[in-house]
Amino acid sequence: MADKIQIKLVRSTIGRKPEQRATVRSLGLRKISSTVVHEASPQVLGMVDVVKHLVEVSPYTGETAKEKK
């Protein structure tokens, strides 16, 4: 599976369950608006599904947000 996805943290983890906080951290997200790129593996997609209310997911096109400006 060569598809990549871009994951952006859009909501805070304050007040969330410890399992959700751990999932966000294990995805590599720390602050709001931080963005990471991962392979679209079943493991990563499952983690995203657990915190789908906190993140935005989009296909990775090879451009970062800074490059689009």
Residue 26 is part of a domain; what is its CATH number? 3.30.1390.20
Give residue 62's pLDDT.
83
Whether 41 is covered by a domain: the verdict is yes
Domain with 10, as residue range(s), is 4-62
Q: What DSSP element (H or E) covers 68?
A: helix 65-68
Gyration radius from the chain CA atoms: 12
The answer to whether position 69 is within a domain reads: no
**Per-residue tens of pLDDT for the chain, all 69 residues:** 459 999 999 999 999 999 999 999 999 999 999 999 999 999 999 999 999 999 999 999 886 655 554
Nearest CA to 53 out of 17, 26, 28, 1 is that of 17
Whether 40 is covered by a domain: the verdict is yes
Closest CA to 23 of 15, 31, 13: 13
51 exposure class (CB count in 10 Å sphere: 0-12, 13-18, 19+): buried
Q: What is the pLDDT of residue 69?
A: 46
